[in-house]
Amino acid sequence: MMVDHEGGAWSIRGCRASARARVALSIVSEDLTAQAITQVTGLEPTDSWSRGDLRTHPRMRHLGPHAFTRWTSCPEGDLPGEFEDKLARLLQLTEPAAARIRALADTCDVSILVGDQGYTSQMWGLPIEAQDVARIAAPGAALAVDLHAPGPALP
């Protein structure tokens, strides 16, 4: 919040609300299990399911078992924080496994997934440093960004 103090009185000049960012490594396979992906990468997922596993969400159970495997590492989850800090943390954790992840990229869909939920008329950019572009490419990952501005305009 930006405030002024003039003539003994306080006034609000404006405010800035951080977007809610989610940054995750996602590996999707039609052949490997989540356990096999964990073994190859040497990383623990924050969420995963394997092809054939029953869906756990009550509204999705009628769709039957999962048709593919999804393995996700989202170390910062929905905690407050800036996109670039969350990206840096994910890359720091996954960089030692980049070659092992790249080995999966021929048969799996490997992506850095970004979900950024801002506010109407209050969307900011997603800065990605040159060295981070190289770090994203090292494991053969694509970059997928979803931007959402569902809320009301901020005053």
pLDDT score of 96 = 96
pLDDT of residue 77: 86
pLDDT reported for residue 63? 87
User: Token digits for 133?
Assistant: 């572009």
Segments making up each domain of the chain, as ranges: 17-151
- 46: how many CB neighbours lie within 10 A of its CB? 14
Let me know how long the chain is. 155
What is the rounded (10 degree) CA torsion for 81, 83, 88, 94? Answer: 100
Distance CA 96, CA 101 (A): 10
CA atoms within 13 A on the CB side of 144: 11
> What would you report as the CA-atom Rg of the chain, rounded to the nearest whole angstrom?
20
Q: What pTM was computed for the model?
A: 0.80
Residue type, 112: I
Read off the DSSP letter of residue 46: S
pLDDT tens per residue, the chain (155 residues)? 567 778 888 877 665 555 578 999 999 999 999 999 999 999 999 999 999 988 888 888 888 889 999 999 999 888 888 889 999 999 999 999 999 999 999 899 999 999 887 666 666 778 889 999 999 999 999 999 887 766 656 55
Query: What's residue 79's pLDDT?
Result: 84
